[in-house]
Amino acid sequence: MAEALKALVEIISTETDALLSAYATHEVKFPSIDETSTTSSKKNTDFDVDPTIVRMRQLIVAAAAQLIATVQPPGEFLQDAAPAMFKSATLGFVIDVDVPEILMEAGPMGLHVKDLAIVTGVDDSHLARVLRYLATRHIFREVEPNVFAHNRNSTLLSKSKSLKEIKEETDELLASSVHLSAWLRNPEQAPAAFNMGCKTPKKLWDWYKEPNNEARLRRFTVGMKANAYPSHIFTNGIHGDALKADDIVVDIGGSLGTVTLVLKKAFPSLNYVVQDIDKTITASGDYWREHSPEAFESGQVKLQAHNFFEPQPVKNAAVYFLRNILHDWPDEEACEILSNIRDAAGPNSKLIVFESLARYTCEDSPRANFSLPEAPYPLLKNLGVAGEGFLTALDLGMLALFNGKERTLAEFEELGIKTAWRLESVKPGSLYTLVFSPITGGT
């Protein structure tokens, strides 16, 4: 026990030294938690996503969280974990009444809850308790009794409209999560907990198409657009330099086609097709007219309404890719999607899946062909909240909304084998890149 505790402290100490020294070497300022600037210099932003820096940060966070879980008595630990729904509820509330915007205008001195009450119309003591709950969890800062200001974490809440759109999507999740336990105990009663929470027999996408839900579809689409992953994941992932001019890259379930836009800029001699359900494809026309009208008008980028449960119309493309699609679907449907692509693929086509990879919290059996990042003793093997915290929540979100899932490496391999795709390589990152080749009679 003492040995594990000391090892955790050692990780924190070594990685913090390394992190600070990397910041110093690159002449980048280490951000204070009290910082409220919404603009970062390009240098800071690039540095933030540098894989070495990301890894140092992850190790520190993983070790610190495990240290807390080790040192805190179980009763206290669970006392904070059990009512975690108040995090969603209070974040939702502050956004609903525009607290992030109001505090941004107030600046670093903050605003007294009595003044905040006048602007929001909400009782000052209610505001104080909600903000203190969040400040206790390092979101906002109580600069004087009952005076609240932004900190680095809360600033992000006012940073972009799309964050609000993402938050609103949690309405569906919140409604679904209430029914998760009942659904898990009897999954036959509805396709997913979402159907119980939102009282519909339809899949989320079909429900979004209903006349009353158009705003929800719009905000989901904006939310997906705001999903900022480093673009090198996609440009390295499809190996565009190795493709021939005019080769076709198909973005299946591509929404507006934000990934395709990144690829088109990096590999301008390739041709692209963005496919999605009809309503989304209609909206993507505006996106392309705004961001790359020449590619849209010349036909270099085609927008195609296509249901991926029907035969894939683009045959023998060089690359078919799916970003964050398979996790929306249970295995049976995921196999149908992959089979339709396989039927259209040529012998040299590649299937590229950009998705999160679910990792076990314990040691996995060694896999000869693939090497995944290791976590040092005594950390959880998936790096706990630092690596998988959000991903395990995303996994449960997929379960609650669609009976979907984040998959392990073995599960991806198995999906591939069932649909005649061989998993050829796996590249770790904030989104993993999984490359598959067709299994043919001779392979």
**Residues 162-181 as b or e (16 or more Cβ within 10 Å = b):** bbbbbbbbeebbebbbebbe
Max CA separation in the chain (angstroms): 75
CB of 249 to ligand SAM, least distance (A): 13
CB of 279 to ligand SAM, least distance (A): 8
**Cβ nearer to ligand SAM, comparing 271 with 280:** 280
Catalytic residue among 150, 179, 306, 327: 327
**Cβ nearer to ligand SAM, comparing 355 with 388:** 355
Tokens describing residue 13:
């100490």
Tokens describing residue 130:
């909600």
Cβ within 8 Å of residue 259, ≥6 positions away: 234, 251, 321, 323, 354
Could you tell me which of 228, 62, 258, 247 has the C-alpha nearest to residue 160? 228
CB of 95 to ligand SAM, least distance (A): 22
Strand, helix or coil for residue 423: strand
DSSP run (H or E) holding 427? strand 421-427
CB of 387 to ligand SAM, least distance (A): 21
**Residue 107 burial by CB count (10 A; 0-12/13-18/19+): exposed, middle or buried?**
exposed
Q: Which chain residues interact with ligand SAM by CB under 6 A?
A: 205, 224, 253-255, 258, 276-277, 280, 307-309, 323-325, 328
**Cβ nearer to ligand SAM, comparing 55 with 225:** 225
Closest-CB residue for ligand SAM?
253
- Beta-bridged to residue 276, according to DSSP, are 305
**Cβ nearer to ligand SAM, comparing 280 with 419:** 280
Crossing angle for the helix pair 99-106 and 85-96, to the nearest 10 degrees: 60
- Cα–Cα distance, 384 to 261 (Å, whole number): 33
Query: What DSSP string describes 49-61?
Result: T-HHHHHHHHHHH
26 is an active site residue: no
Which sequence positions are flagged as catalytic?
Answer: 327
